């Protein structure tokens, strides 16, 4: 059957089957990020013999790899094509009401860890309410793309709700270009029953995938954990073995010969406990034939060296600076060395910003389409504004921005953006400058034309508002 002939029920079955085939891998990525992965490189017979006495030591490098990138993916706003500053309407009427400051970070974590996340856009509860934009997990949402246009043909969201009596109710929503159809069933084995249908007639599926590391032949993306999970498994194995070795071999093991039953009785003839193997307990006997001794303790240096070697491999594969993995040297690195070590990580973050920025722009265009019924031409040239992925000190950045503004290379508003101010903060500072300009008295304006040397009295903000720049004076 051609895809164009599928109805909502047909799409439900098709997308659910495709999602189920990928669910095992998605859950495994999620387990690695959360540090709940199974213990690898351990013989099953040994695990059965140890039972619950063996506890895995988790070296959660996958979480570190994801969080190090996520910490550099902060959205500051959106700028429409041809505009000089961030768009206040998108930020104040769509982004902020949907709490996307927080939820966008959750979406980035899921996209980095599980190869993709999703954004679903819908209408508000009433005409005056803003569009509803929600970040969704790949564990619940799946979408299929057109192989020719790469656009989403249909999408599915499934979730389970636990009722007060302990039973479960299953829900599913199919998103199509012209309608959104909802289904539910009372058990996993029951048949889906349609519960609602919304004929929105948008002409586009209101679901946007946030894809990490997509390839030309695979638009579903790849997880950032792909190259480090095997190294993390090896580190967990070595760390677990090290703790077992510390328990049984790191302390000197003692031995005794010539012991008799009388050595385990007190002066009153009562039986006492056998000699303990716990470190620090004193061993003694009145029998002259008894001999005590100890075996040499085990050296755990081989475990330390192996963990350090694995950490260096993770650093090479992920671009993380060695210091983030605990590979500190005796002498602290210089500022230049720190920046050089972070160069690959910064570039990786900038690449993620470019890819994820296009997806967020598509989501904002969908929100405008749902709210206004059309997408303005300038929104097709929208730009996502990201916080700088590098980590210079604030003083260094402020000095660089000030020099660029004074030299006239960039305008003052761009300097504010480069310093990391949000769209709301920039709007507030512009309002402050406009208020300062209106407070200029007639004497200030007269002084502008008659002051010796062309120096303008008044506050720095007022002078800047009149001169159009940060300079304290103008040519007469």
Bridge pairing between strands 152-162 and 75-79: unpaired
- What residue spans define the domains of the chain? 252-294, 392-476
The rounded percent of the chain whose pLDDT value lies above 90 is: 47
Nearest to 338 by CA among 352, 321, 355, 326: 321
Nearest 10 degrees: CA dihedral of 18, 24, 28, 34?
A: 80
Read off the tokens for 89.
């309407």
Range 191-216 average pLDDT: 94
The beta strand positions in 202-277, using DSSP E, are: 207-211, 254-257
How many angstroms separate the CA atoms of 173 and 16, rounded? 11
The rounded percent of the chain whose pLDDT value lies above 70 is: 79
Range 16-29 average pLDDT: 96
How many angstroms separate the CA atoms of 220 and 5, rounded? 24
pLDDT at 405: 86
pLDDT at 400: 80
Asked if 204 and 177 count as a contact pair (C-beta separation under 8 A), the reply is: yes
Q: How many residues does the chain have?
A: 476
How many angstroms separate the CA atoms of 26 and 136, rounded? 14
pLDDT at 378: 94
pLDDT at 278: 45
Q: Which one is predicted more confidently, 385 or 1?
A: 385
Q: Which one is predicted more confidently, 332 or 366?
A: 366
pLDDT at 300: 76
Element holding 106 (H helix, E strand): helix 100-114
Give 100-124 pLDDT, tens digit per residue. 999 999 999 999 999 999 999 999 8
């Amino acid at each position: 059957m051609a895809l164009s002939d599928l109805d909502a029920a047909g799409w439900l079955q098709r997308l659910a089957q495709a999602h189920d085939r990928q669910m095992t891998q998605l859950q495994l990525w999620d387990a690695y990020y959360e540090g709940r992965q199974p213990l690898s490189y351990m013989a099953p017979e040994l695990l059965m013999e140890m039972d619950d006495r063996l506890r895995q030591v988790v070296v959660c490098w996958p979480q570190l790899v994801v969080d190090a990138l996520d910490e550099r993916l902060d959205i500051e706003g959106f700028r429409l094509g041809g505009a000089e500053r961030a768009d206040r309407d998108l930020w104040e009427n769509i982004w902020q009401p949907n709490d996307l400051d927080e939820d966008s970070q959750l979406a980035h974590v899921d996209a980095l860890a599980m190869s993709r996340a999703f954004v679903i856009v819908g209408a508000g509860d009433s005409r005056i309410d803003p569009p509803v934009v929600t970040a969704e997990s790949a564990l619940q949402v799946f979408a299929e793309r057109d192989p020719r246009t790469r656009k989403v043909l249909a999408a599915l969201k499934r979730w389970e709700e636990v009722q007060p009596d302990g039973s479960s109710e299953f829900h599913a929503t199919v998103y199509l270009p012209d309608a959104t159809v909802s289904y539910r069933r009372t058990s996993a084995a029951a048949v889906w029953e349609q519960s609602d249908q919304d004929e929105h007639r948008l002409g586009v599926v209101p679901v946007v995938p946030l894809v990490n590391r997509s390839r030309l032949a695979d638009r579903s993306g790849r997880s950032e954990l792909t190259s480090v999970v095997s190294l993390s498994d090896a580190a967990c194995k070595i760390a677990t073995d090290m703790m077992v070795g510390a328990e049984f071999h790191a302390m000197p093991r003692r031995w005794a010969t010539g012991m008799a039953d009388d050595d385990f009785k007190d002066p009153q003839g009562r039986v006492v406990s056998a000699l303990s193997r716990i470190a620090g307990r004193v061993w003694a006997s009145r029998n002259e034939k008894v001999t005590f001794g100890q075996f040499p303790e085990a050296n755990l240096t081989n475990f330390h060296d192996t963990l350090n070697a694995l950490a260096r491999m993770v650093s090479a594969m992920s671009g993380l600076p060695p210091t983030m993995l605990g590979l500190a040297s005796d002498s602290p690195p210089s500022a230049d060395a720190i920046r050089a070590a972070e160069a690959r990580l910064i570039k990786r973050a900038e690449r993620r910003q470019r890819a994820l920025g296009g997806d967020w722009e598509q989501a904002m265009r969908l929100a405008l389409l749902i709210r206004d019924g059309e997408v303005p031409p300038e929104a097709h040239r929208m730009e996502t504004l990201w916080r700088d992925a590098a980590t210079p000190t604030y003083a260094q950045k402020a000095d660089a921005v000030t020099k660029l503004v004074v030299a006239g290379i960039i305008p003052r508003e761009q300097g504010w953006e480069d310093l990391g101010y949000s769209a709301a903060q920039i709007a507030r500072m512009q309002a402050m400058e406009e208020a300062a300009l209106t407070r200029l008295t007639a004497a200030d304006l007269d002084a502008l034309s008659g002051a010796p040397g062309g120096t303008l009295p008044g506050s720095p903000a007022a002078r800047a508002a009149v001169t159009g720049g940060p300079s304290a004076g103008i040519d007469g």
